[in-house]
């Protein structure tokens, strides 16, 4: 009787140990990676266009976010001199629009 009780406790302990195991999601399935960001060269092209259009220097115009939009284009938010602008660029590096964001 005692041996059966010990065996039952061991089985329950093993079952509870295995049910507590949860696999971590792969990096491509994590929530923060669900959106496709613009390649670095396109972000820099938008930052350069912003410096030319709005008169900031290159060190102060920084891309702060980007995302893919329809048609193989990217929307990139640039911050320069405390002002944000939105840049729409295609995959070839052609800036399609560049407008200040009103705050």
The pLDDT tens digits for 22-77 are: 555 555 555 555 579 999 999 999 999 999 998 877 788 899 999 999 999 999 99
The full DSSP string for the chain is: -HHHHHHHHHHHHHHHHHHT--PPPPGGGSGGGSSPPPPHHHHHHHHHHHHHHH---GGG-EEEEEEEETTTEEEEEEEETTEEEEEEEETTS-EEEEEEPP-
Interval 7-21: pLDDT, tens:
555 555 545 554 455
Distance CA 55, CA 57 (A): 7
């Amino acid at each position: 009787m005692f041996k059966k009780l010990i065996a039952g406790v061991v089985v329950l302990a093993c079952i509870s140990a295995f049910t507590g195991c949860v696999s971590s999601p792969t990096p491509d399935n994590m929530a923060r990676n669900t959106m496709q960001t613009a390649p670095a060269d396109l972000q820099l092209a938008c930052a350069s266009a912003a410096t030319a259009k709005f008169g900031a220097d290159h060190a102060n115009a920084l891309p702060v976010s980007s995302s893919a939009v329809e048609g193989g284009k990217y929307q990139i938010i640039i911050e320069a001199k405390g002002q944000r602008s939105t840049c729409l660029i295609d995959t070839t590096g052609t800036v399609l629009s560049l407008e200040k964001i009103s705050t």
